[in-house]
A and B are shown apart, each in its own frame.
Chain A
């Protein structure tokens, strides 16, 4: 466990991708099976421990510390696992003969530990580990490593052990299981490529680059096709046949996470669609009575671990198909977009499936026309679904489907954000990377009150600024505190001494939950207006004009 903990510790601080790869490859080369395989599983999201919940950690540490000191420490550190790892009392007499457990000991024993026996077993391990080991163990079992290593990067490091490309590993990945003995044997040249019999494998999706408006000068509109960028969740729906000829359906997220369990209705629709064997790239949406619902509605559905019958009925899932990657065993990815699109259109027309439809193309003959469509999707064919559109996608007609994010073939052109100048009212210390810094900012705009103008809080933002700006904001908060309420500080926000923040946001909705009656979508700090007096910040009327009725 100590070697794994040291790796996680070092990875968590290393920003450079290449140096991360070096640390990972060095670890995989130097560590034995099955430890390294479990480490790989941990970093690719392949390990879950049903009974290990944050509440368990909280209970264990509460038994061992003064509640006031725990509360102060947690507020300061901002991360439960880290707080518990630091506060854990060192064993009175460390038994030198008791070697700390290995990663495989922990993983294997955790799987066979009952819920009732878990606290004692965990406490025993924590007594044997040092601070870094305790932190790593708690992060591992609660599934929140947050070390800046994607599954893709971990697989790339494995590929780099041999002379393989990351996609070689990706292609066999979904047929393999932890601790990946056959994978390591393959990359080390000791055994042939593992045979994967996964009938419905994941394929790395193709992603788009954000379009800068200056890019238009270099792009020709006749080379591109445009579609709406739907505000849902990008998915891959795969239908295949197993060895017995029975249908197998799976739904993957864009990172290859299997979402099948939380989407039984979508899986059933895929099984009944009459597609044959296919891999469809599309957007997962909630559609009620033919109308695409806003992203928030989809989120309500996906946030639930268990899906009730009621949720299934109220939040029916739907896939809007973008692309066809495989049809009846034929890999379509080497075909041009327009050819794949024709195959997709034919498939949908032939099958007339429930809960699947085609992402419509947006006709345009110049960038000006496309800009107009992006500005007003409802008048460019999107009709009532316009609220669920976050921009347009451009796809080069002659492009093949390339896994990853190649620059050039696909572009996303998001809608412009809205901006408002608001006054900082409250600040709260952040969590994670931002803990100990005041980094969650509540801001308000002016409105007429009983005693003249007052500020109405309209939202909270916790990103958009650089680390340097965060330092300045943190300092400003500490120097301009009026009141403290636990972790929250009220700061000066008078017309003469308040700080103005330019807030960018994606949309505005009416909300009964908020005092101002407004809820901002995706607010972030676009600029700190050190120059602007608070009295000149915006008024609530400016926001109310933006409300869609």
Chain B
């Protein structure tokens, strides 16, 4: 049996006929399996949703209580039977609750990675490689120029800048689900013991993380009258906010941005970023290649990102590689990279 008999591509995205479900569908469907809570993967309006409890919690938080007709928990590592298919969710190390989905059907094992990383993240369980016949991977950073450095070193850069410019507020653009909380945890590990200030838009998600037992120390929401007083302090906000009127009330802000895209200088300059921090929740090139090898797969599908380079690499190693060119994923990262381009 080939992977193509188990999973196919429909206008809504990846579809498994044996189990009659879609994975991370781009439009409303009857039954959806969701890998993680980012809005390009977790959309509202499906009939039934199956996801990890954390992902369901995040969807409810962001999309409202009635985000789907029905919702069912899937704990990590517990297999479930859906029609002719067996499915199970496994940690992907991307954000809290993120999962890869293993499908066993028609004698074939397929893993859909969702978004993932291999680098350490104190805010979510680490990625677990799963042996499979076909691996369906993301490739957001699927070019060998993307080699993410140690995130701790990037956070130290931020702390050093606060020392060099003690009168300037340091605004750190970070995606509000996952990246923001990871930066908070990294700052605490690096010994930053001052309050960490946050934009109102990240309050809910941060509280959700805290309710799951994560401790970020003294986190304070920025009130309008606080802004002029925050010289030398660290303020975490959505990337687009760094370019808003909101940002102007801070004293001569240093605009930082925590994203894998910051590896490319032009990206950082385009976004008006002065302190690029290469901190990514996606696998870099080396991690992508290592992960493909870890799965032992003979067939590689690539959902989105820089598909062609990874497909080239895989083909050279004797794998069957298939770029899917799925449109619609990765938009959140794009928005992170160039917030000012949003109309």
Residues of A within 8 A of B (CB): 10, 12-16, 19, 22, 26, 65-66, 68-69, 72-73, 76-79, 82-83, 86-87, 90, 130-131, 432-437, 467-468, 470-472, 474-475
Contact = CB atoms under 8 A, between A and B. Distances in A.
B274 A87 contact: no
Nearest to B168: A19
Contact of A467 (B143, B264, B276, B340): B340
A78 B145 contact: no
Given A69-B312, A475-B341, A432 B266 contact: yes
B202 interface: no
A250 B266 CA distance: 38
B313 A79 contact: no
A12 B265 contact: yes
Nearest to B263: A86
A19 B274 CA distance: 11
B267 A436 contact: yes
A198 to B, nearest CB: 37
A86 B265 CA distance: 11
A69 B143 contact: yes
A12 B272 CA distance: 11
B66 interface: no
B270 A76 contact: no
A77 B275 contact: no
A78 B266 contact: yes
Given A13-B275, A15-B274, A433-B266, A468 B143 contact: no
A28 to B, nearest CB: 15
B341 A468 contact: yes
Nearest to B338: A471
Given A15-B274, A436-B264, A69 B144 contact: yes
Contacts of A77: 145, 264, 266
A131 B149 contact: yes
A30 to B, nearest CB: 11
B306 interface: yes
Q: Nearest 6 pairs between A and B by C-beta? A: A471-B341, A86-B145, A435-B266, A13-B274, A73-B145, A72-B309
B273 A76 contact: no
B269 interface: yes
Contacts of A79: 265-266
A467 B274 contact: no
B263 A26 contact: no
Contacts of B267: 436
Contacts of A467: 270, 272, 340-341
A468 B306 contact: no
Contacts of A12: 265, 269
Given A14-B274, A87-B145, A468-B340, 15 more contacts: A12-B269, A13-B273, A22-B165, A26-B164, A66-B316, A73-B144, A73-B309, A76-B143, A77-B266, A79-B265, A86-B263, A434-B270, A435-B266, A470-B270, A472-B341
B306 A433 contact: no
Interface of B: 143-147, 149, 164-165, 252, 263-270, 272-276, 306, 308-309, 312-313, 316, 338, 340-343
Contacts, number: 91
Contacts of B268: 13
B275 A76 contact: no
Nearest to B145: A86
A86 to B, nearest CB: 4
A433 B343 contact: no
Contact of A76 (B265, B269, B306, B338): B306
B144 A437 contact: no
Contacts of B165: 19, 22
Contact of A72 (B143, B264, B265): B143
Nearest to B343: A472
A131 B147 CA distance: 10
A82 B265 contact: yes
Nearest to B265: A82
A494 to B, nearest CB: 22
A434 B266 contact: yes
A433 B144 contact: no
Contacts of A15: 272, 274
A479 to B, nearest CB: 10
A68 B312 contact: yes
Nearest to A437: B270
A22 B342 CA distance: 33
Nearest to A146: B265
Nearest to A70: B144
A468 B270 CA distance: 9
A16 B252 CA distance: 10
A433 B270 contact: yes
A69 B313 CA distance: 8
Contacts of A435: 264, 266
Contacts of B313: 66, 69
A413 B288 CA distance: 57
Contacts of A475: 341
Nearest to A85: B145
Contacts of B263: 86
Residue among A10, A432, A467, A472 with the most chain B CB within 10 A?
A467
A14 B113 CA distance: 38
Contact of A65 (B144, B147, B265, B338): B144
Residue among B144, B145, B164, B275 with the most chain A CB within 10 A?
B145
B274 A471 contact: no
A436 B343 contact: no
A73 B143 contact: yes
B229 to A, nearest CB: 20
A436 B266 contact: yes
23 contacts: A13-B274, A19-B165, A22-B165, A26-B164, A69-B143, A69-B144, A69-B309, A73-B145, A76-B145, A76-B264, A78-B266, A82-B264, A82-B265, A86-B145, A130-B149, A433-B266, A436-B266, A437-B270, A468-B341, A470-B270, A471-B338, A474-B341, A475-B341
A304 B260 CA distance: 41
A330 to B, nearest CB: 46
A470 B266 CA distance: 13
Nearest to A23: B164
Contacts of A471: 338, 340-342
A219 B110 CA distance: 78
Contacts of B147: 86, 90, 131
B302 to A, nearest CB: 14
Nearest to A18: B252
B148 to A, nearest CB: 10
Contacts of A90: 147
A468 B338 CA distance: 10
Contacts of B269: 12-13, 433
